[in-house]
A and B are shown apart, each in its own frame.
Chain A
Amino acid sequence: MSLVELDSGKIRAEFPALSREIRPGVPLVYLDTTATSQKPLRVLEAMERYYRWHNANVHRGIHTLAEEATAEFEGARTKIAEFIGAQDSREVIFTRNATEAINLVAKTWGSSNLKEGDRIVVSEMEHHSNLVPWQMLSAEQGLEINVLPVTEQGELDLREWERLLNKEPKIVCFTHMSNVLGTLNPVAEMCAQARDAGAVSVVDGAQSAPHLPVDVRAIGADFFAFSGHKMCGPTGGGVLWGRAKLLNEMPPFLGGGDMIKRVQMTGFEPNEIPYKFEAGTPSICEAIGLGAAVEYLESVGMESIWKHEQELISYALEGLGEINGITVYGPEAHKRGGVASFTLEGVHPHDIAQVLDRDGVAVRAGHHCAMPLHTKLNVVATARASFYLYNTQDEVDLLVEGIGRVRDMFR
């Protein structure tokens, strides 16, 4: 695929929210995509079109609208499967978000394959969504959680990783890209090593699928989870991708309509994948919205988006690094995505975010659902700026200037 320089004017025009002002004369500088992205017109339009014209429940409907809705819904599944390089669209299970996807794996694969004393490896840079479900499962089944530590440089400790694999864990869980440090982890190597060690791998792709080309087969994970709302799609639409063989062997997740093939008063026979894991009326509109989102991202080009973000983060790390009293966490630019978490000496991150908001600059402040990582970094909270295809170097300049003003105010 050829790399195309992004046309930021054209891209920004696709996102209505980016044209608004926070106060008269103060345009929005949206640097909080890691929490959720803005939505392009064609996603909003696809969702509105469904509710205006095709609104019907999916599957088993004989009438025209039901057939249209089903075609749109299943069409979205196919687009998403192609987007992540899945071999078979039946491997794409619609969930509410990455969190639900990981909980699904813990509740179904976990409860039917793990027993007391089994080991789980979880990295120290996980979002709570790829940590707490495993803690809950551990408490239920008496499992042992082994922590894969983060180094001073903000990368996974790969020597410790090999040592942990030697202890024969049953399952290993790590993020493709840290939502705090931006660190891009060597997931393909790790999944291959895990497989050799006999462990099933769960990769949290919530921060990678939106930003870089993802090929689940090349990564070699057993499960890959992501959220649609961080990649131009609506909230309420996420995906669990899993290997068909594993999914077929797993018990169902929630019980109800759609996930069954046959029901008697005394029992049921589960449906085929992916429906086995999609009980009840799914988030039809959200799936259609996510389908439109991946179509949009592909039209821009994931390689081009990644390159654009690499340029932005390099530029941002340079500018931020020159601010007195700032600490920016995480590895150097070429080892990370477009996320920069930082602290400013003598100023609480909430105050940083609040003051920046006056300049229209939207950043996040807190522990970003990664409390153990912040404990490791020895801070209670950080401020975080994150970039996407629609951000520009001018916006990075506004961020850097804004932080300078915060520092002066608290000096």
Chain B
Amino acid sequence: MDDMYREFILDHYKNPRHHGELDPADISYQDDNPLCGDVIRIDLRVDKDNRIIESAFSGQGCAISQASASMLMEEIQGKSLDEIKEFSREDILQMLGIELGPVRLKCAMLSLKVLKVGAYGVQDWVDDE
């Protein structure tokens, strides 16, 4: 558990990257985890090749949910929507570099869920994806 609040995770929480909203945006999506009250909104601007040229997230929640969103925003810069499709739970866990129990896993995955549902309208998102 000591690992969970590593310096760089706390740093992303306290100084989130790409934080804010984009107006106008090509893709905007928001979702929450009512159980803990985490909320994440993601705005994306893409070029004609569906490559992400700008991204921003906003919302509130625990350190894990917010830090994971901040890291994810850095990760997707310049990537195409097709490449994002390949993002998995393992990628997020690798990005965070920590192990998480089932409750906190939902916090960590919220930003990926918002990103994928926003980009593709994935209707069959399962939380343990």
Contacts and interface: CB of A to CB of B under 8 A. Distances in A.
Q: Taking chain A's interface residues, is the majority helix, strand, or loop, or is none over half, making it mixed?
A: helix
Given A366-B35, A380-B36, A354 B10 contact: no
Interface residues of B, number: 22
B37 A367 contact: yes
Q: Taking chain B's interface residues, is the majority helix, strand, or loop, or is none over half, making it mixed?
A: helix
Interface string A341-362: 0000001111100110110000
B1 A350 contact: no
A410 B62 CA distance: 11
A365 B62 CA distance: 11
A350 B104 contact: yes
Interface of A: 347-351, 354-355, 357-358, 365-367, 371, 374, 379-381, 409-410
Interface of B: 1-2, 4-5, 10, 13-14, 34-39, 60-65, 103-104, 107
Given A348-B63, A350-B104, A350-B107, A380 B4 contact: no
Given A348-B62, A366-B37, A367-B35, 9 more contacts: A348-B60, A350-B104, A357-B1, A358-B2, A365-B36, A371-B34, A379-B37, A380-B36, A410-B14
12 contacts: A347-B63, A348-B61, A348-B63, A350-B104, A351-B5, A351-B62, A351-B64, A354-B1, A358-B2, A366-B37, A367-B35, A380-B60
Contacts of B63: 347-348, 351, 410
B104 A354 contact: yes
A410 B64 CA distance: 13
Contacts, number: 50
Contacts of B103: 350
Given A351-B62, A409-B10, A410-B10, A380 B1 contact: no
* A-B pairs, 8 with minimum CB distance: A380-B37, A348-B62, A350-B62, A381-B37, A351-B63, A351-B62, A358-B1, A350-B36
Nearest to A346: B14
